[in-house]
Amino acid sequence: MTATSTSPEITIEFHKSPVPDADRIKALETPGFGKIFTDHMVLARWTADKGWHDAKVTPRRPLELDPASAVLHYAQEIFEGMKAYKADDGRILLFRPEENARRFAKSAARMAMPEVPEDLFLKAVEELVRVDKNWIPSGDASLYLRPFMFANEAFLGVRPAQEYIFCIIASPVGAYFKGGAKAVSLWVETTYTRAAAGGTGAAKCGGNYAASLVAQAEAAKKDCDQVVFLDAAEHRWVEELGGMNVFFVMNDGSVVTPPLGGTILPGITRASVIVLAKEKGLRIEERPYSFEEWQADAASGKLVEAFACGTAAVLAGIGLVRHAGGEFKVGDGQTGKLTTDLRQQLVSLQKGITNDERGWTRRVL
Ligand code: PLP
Ligand code: COI
């Protein structure tokens, strides 16, 4: 399905009874992750005859769907995850939002959905951030933005829908993991896989996450924070976590991360970490890394650190790895030095503390 070439104007309808200041300020003190939401949202519609239209920032409210709406049956749905940060001097910054727009377009193409033009995606994100600017926390917290699109045609035939809704909601967030900067534990999943060659692993579609939940529940049963998936063909090669990419830091200055081959999500944090690590003189190896090699490297001491990374989690050290045959520690089981440094470097860029030489931040206000 092709993109419409013209982007509609975005109108703004302000909430008549937004959350009172005192309640909002209280909620921002301990936001948690994904539990509280701002006063507004973005809505836009796409139909085969009109393309994108009716784009607006509007008071946040429940959506009413026809029970035959295609998304409820065939899961034609994609989403993005990005954050708006408040700098200490009051500037409001987005981090590489063009990359989210491009990935959203690629996810749309994979799921036979219309693309949201990059300028509409960016304008919509920025308008929502401006309208809900009082919801952006300061300090370590940020405003998580969740653009998503779903098929909304009332039709039960199996084919790409002829109607879609693009929506953006916003949620002030603190740390993704309850333990904060403490190293996380992983469960290595050897039964269920996340994505196979030719499938939707590189698209950010809701179905990938639905398919990961049984494995994530298994991880929780084993008292682990996250699941790590192996490849679907051999159940041997490390791919990624349920919602994060993964890196392995060796004692010889090399850093290994699984290659983008269509089965893992091309993380924007992953891409940024690769640039920052290279600038530090580290040798990045994007190559297949097996679970056997991981175990052997942890046992020999060659592996000194491992970390997970993504927008929600930023960088999280991996301390403990549990699997069907036992468990092992990575390094001393704590978040490693490189992980801490890279996290700090990234956060300083995102929050506008360090000078942005790479043009990664985009000022909204
Ligand atoms: N992998 C998966 C499956 C994810 O859901 C995410 C989060 O968005 C990532 C990796 C990291 O991507 P990004 O760094 O763009 O947030
Ligand atoms: C993100 O990091 O933005 C994600 O979408 C991952 C999800 C686990 C919250």
**What is the per-residue pLDDT for 148?**
99
> Under a CB-based contact definition with an 8 Å cutoff, are residues 264 and 239 in contact?
yes
CA of 196 to the centre of ligand 2 (A): 20
pTM passes above 0.75: yes
Q: Whole-number mean pLDDT of the chain?
A: 97
CA of 4 to the centre of ligand 1 (A): 27
Residue with the smallest CA separation from ligand 1 atom 10 is 244
Residue with the smallest CA separation from ligand 2 atom 7 is 243
- pLDDT of 208 strictly over 70: yes
CA of 310 to the centre of ligand 2 (A): 7
- pLDDT of 156 strictly over 90: yes
> Under a CB-based contact definition with an 8 Å cutoff, are residues 196 and 155 in contact?
no
- Confirm whether 178 is domain-assigned: no
Q: How far apart are CA 42 and CA 60, in angstroms?
A: 8
**What is the per-residue pLDDT for 179?**
81
CA of 300 to the centre of ligand 2 (A): 33
Q: Do 107 and 73 share a domain, yes or no?
A: yes
Q: Do 169 and 188 share a domain, yes or no?
A: no
Q: Do 51 and 81 share a domain, yes or no?
A: yes
Q: Do 51 and 79 share a domain, yes or no?
A: yes
Which of 173, 200, 221 is the C-terminal boundary of a domain? 173
- Ligand 2, closest atom to CA 82? 3
- Confirm whether 59 is domain-assigned: yes
Q: How far apart are CA 3 and CA 115, in angstroms?
A: 5
Which of 149, 173, 197 is the C-terminal boundary of a domain? 173
The verdict on the CB of residue 310 being under 6 Å from ligand 2 is: yes
- pLDDT of 5 strictly over 80: no
- Ligand 1, closest atom to CA 240? 1
CA of 97 to the centre of ligand 2 (A): 15
The verdict on the CB of residue 268 being under 6 Å from ligand 1 is: yes
- pLDDT of 1 strictly over 90: no
The verdict on the CB of residue 311 being under 6 Å from ligand 2 is: yes
- 74 residue type, one letter: Y
**In this structure, what are the phi and psi dihedrals at residue 139, rounded to the nearest 5 degrees?**
70, -140
Q: Do 166 and 79 share a domain, yes or no?
A: yes
Q: How far apart are CA 186 and CA 294, in angstroms?
A: 13
CA of 311 to the centre of ligand 2 (A): 6
- pLDDT of 141 strictly over 70: yes
CA of 81 to the centre of ligand 2 (A): 6
Q: Do 51 and 141 share a domain, yes or no?
A: yes
Stretch 126-149: mean pLDDT:
97
Q: If we measure between CA atoms, which residue out of 109, 115, 111, 85 comes closest to residue 97? A: 85
Which of 148, 173, 198 is the C-terminal boundary of a domain? 173
Q: Do 108 and 168 share a domain, yes or no?
A: yes
The number of distinct structural domains making up the chain is: 2
Q: If we measure between CA atoms, which residue out of 53, 200, 189, 41 comes closest to residue 116? A: 53
- Confirm whether 355 is domain-assigned: no
Q: What is the domain extent for residue 37?
A: 10-173
Could you tell which of 95, 142, 269, 342 is best to mutate to test the pocket of ligand 1, judged by most ligand atoms within 8 Å of the CB?
269
Q: Do 161 and 72 share a domain, yes or no?
A: yes
- Ligand 2, closest atom to CA 81? 3
**What is the per-residue pLDDT for 180?**
77
- Confirm whether 141 is domain-assigned: yes
Domain of 143: which CATH number? 3.30.470.10
The verdict on the CB of residue 245 being under 6 Å from ligand 1 is: yes
Could you tell which of 104, 194, 225, 244 is best to mutate to test the pocket of ligand 2, judged by most ligand atoms within 8 Å of the CB?
244
- Confirm whether 365 is domain-assigned: no
CA of 202 to the centre of ligand 2 (A): 14
- Confirm whether 1 is domain-assigned: no
Give the 3-state DSSP-derived string for the chain, with helices as H, strands as E and coil as C.
CCCCCCCCCCEECCCCCCCCHHHHHHHHHCCCCCCCCCCEEEEEEEECCCEEEEEEEEECCCCCCCCCEHHHHHCCEEECCEEEEECCCCCEEEECHHHHHHHHHHHHHHCCCCCCCHHHHHHHHHHHHHHCHHHCCCCCCEEEEEEEEEECCECCCCCCCCEEEEEEEEEEECCCCCCCCCCEEEEEECCCCCCCCCCCCCCCEHHHHHHHHHHHHHHHHCCCCEEEEECCCCCCEEEEECCCEEEEEECCCEEEECCCCCCCCCCHHHHHHHHHHHHCCCEEEECCCEHHHHHHHHHHCCEEEEEEEECCCEEEEEEEEEECCEEEECCCCCCCHHHHHHHHHHHHHHCCCCCCCCCCEEECC
- Confirm whether 4 is domain-assigned: no
The verdict on the CB of residue 312 being under 6 Å from ligand 2 is: yes
Q: Do 192 and 158 share a domain, yes or no?
A: no
Confidence of residue 285 (pLDDT cuts 50, 70, 90): very high
Q: Do 208 and 148 share a domain, yes or no?
A: no
- Confirm whether 60 is domain-assigned: yes
Stretch 230-234: mean pLDDT:
98
Confidence of residue 3 (pLDDT cuts 50, 70, 90): very low
Domain of 262: which CATH number? 3.20.10.10
Q: Do 200 and 133 share a domain, yes or no?
A: no
Residue with the smallest CA separation from ligand 1 atom 9 is 244
Q: Do 136 and 188 share a domain, yes or no?
A: no
Q: Over pLDDT 70: what percentage of the chain?
A: 99
CA of 216 to the centre of ligand 2 (A): 14
Note the pLDDT tens digit of each residue in 173-199.
999 998 878 999 999 999 999 999 999
Residue with the smallest CA separation from ligand 1 atom 3 is 243
- pLDDT of 63 strictly over 60: yes
Stretch 192-208: mean pLDDT:
98
